[in-house]
């Protein structure tokens, strides 16, 4: 399958394939849109089964960043990068230094932050060879706490809409509970009085976290079967799919993971089952909002908090339109994002 014919290509501006034999780097950098400014999005390192899987992931994530950034009304475009994790032992510093050199080929059209499998220390290594980075430890640092705060607001809205109440006593199943974002979210939810069911492949960290917040541990492959009110996926994407959807007993889904719907039609399937869906790229935009501080000092903590509150309002608008028109929330959200991008492309100002 060629790149242009790939189902997830969707008019990307640029896709760069990078190979560095010395370090073992094999990476794909995707720029979906620069109509609002340089494309910004994290770098993910994962053990992909094939280069086509890596390509599918980066293309979907890149478009998701365009939608995320435009829906948060940020003056940036959307892009993403993925690194195919080398098998066996490898020199991590050398790998990310090579990644830094690769970023220079895009001449600042794409700025990378961290994502799954990548830490601020990795970006520090990359920064020895490039300036096209955000979220460094010397700058805004780890965006996970702010991402989690935005997702927490999204879960609050989901509880209000689907259950008519706040989070006290609400049963919430969290997948990927010990991840960078998941652990912060779990603590927010526990503080709000939620009854938590946690799953993660990191069993030792999971036990420590569950003991800390008084949560129930669920085997990773059984999280879809929990009789909870809300499901908060905070691991990888495509978890709402034909194999899982009939197992759901949830009233709402609101989590941090990107691309939670395996295919867009899963949104309609959730709606048929009476399950509210909070579009992931709307509520998980806190991290990218936070790293704006690396681009302009005017984007300070007060500005970030205002933007996080704005995410709640945007989600509310999407759910209002979904209820009024009887159409899936993901379809409504995508339509708004595409229209804003088109407005920006034609020279108009995207809606705030």
Residues identified as active-site: 80
Residue 228 CB coordination number (10 Å): 24
Rounded-to-integer distance, Cα 186 and Cα 178, Å: 8
Q: What is the four-CA torsion angle of 279, 122, 295, 317, rounded to 10 degrees? A: 10
Give every CB contact of residue 117 below 8 A, 6+ residues apart in sequence: 44, 45, 46, 83, 85
The order of strands in the sheet holding 276-277 is 216-217, 195-199, 171-175, 230-233, 252-253, 276-277
Q: Which residues pair with 77 in a beta bridge?
A: 39
**List of long-range contacts for 118-125, beta carbons under 8 Å, 24+ apart:** 118/42, 118/43, 118/44, 118/45, 118/83, 122/43, 122/45, 122/92, 122/96, 123/43, 123/96, 125/92, 125/93, 125/96, 125/97, 125/100
Tell me which residue of 256, 254, 196, 203 sits closest to 226, measured CA to CA: 196
Q: What is the largest CA-CA distance in the chain?
A: 57
């Amino acid at each position: 399958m060629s790149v242009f014919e790939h189902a997830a290509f969707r008019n990307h501006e640029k896709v760069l394939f990078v190979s560095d034999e010395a370090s073992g780097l094999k990476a794909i950098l995707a720029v979906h849109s620069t109509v609002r400014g340089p494309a910004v999005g994290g770098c993910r390192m994962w053990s992909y089964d094939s280069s086509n899987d890596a390509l599918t992931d980066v293309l979907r994530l890149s478009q998701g960043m365009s939608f995320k950034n435009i829906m948060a009304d940020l003056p940036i475009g959307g892009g993403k990068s993925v690194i195919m994790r080398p098998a066996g032992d490898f020199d991590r510093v050398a790998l990310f230094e090579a990644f830094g050199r690769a970023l220079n080929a895009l001449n600042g059209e794409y700025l990378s932050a961290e994502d799954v499998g990548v830490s601020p220390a990795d970006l520090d290594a990359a920064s020895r060879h490039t300036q096209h980075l955000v979220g460094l430890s010397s700058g805004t640092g780890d965006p996970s706490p702010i991402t989690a705060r935005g997702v927490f607001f999204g879960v609050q809205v989901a509880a209000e809409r689907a259950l008519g109440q706040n989070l006290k006593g609400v049963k919430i199943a969290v997948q990927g509970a010990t991840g960078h974002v998941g652990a912060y979210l779990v603590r927010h939810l526990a503080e709000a009085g939620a009854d938590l069911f946690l799953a993660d492949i990191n069993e030792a960290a999971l036990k420590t976290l569950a003991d800390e917040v008084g949560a129930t541990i669920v085997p990773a492959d059984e999280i879809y079967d929990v009789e909870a009110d809300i499901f908060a996926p905070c691991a990888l994407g495509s978890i709402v799919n034909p194999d899982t959807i009939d197992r759901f007993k949830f009233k709402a889904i609101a989590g941090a993971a990107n691309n939670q719907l395996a295919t867009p039609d899963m949104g309609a399937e959730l709606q048929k089952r009476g399950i509210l869906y909070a579009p992931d790229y709307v509520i998980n935009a806190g991290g990218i909002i936070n790293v704006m501080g690396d681009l302009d000092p005017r984007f300070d903590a007060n500005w970030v908090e205002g933007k996080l509150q704005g995410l709640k309002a945007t989600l509310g608008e999407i759910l209002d339109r979904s209820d009024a028109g009887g159409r899936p929330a993901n379809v409504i959200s995508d339509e708004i994002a595409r229209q804003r991008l088109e407005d920006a492309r034609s020279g108009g100002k995207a809606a705030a």
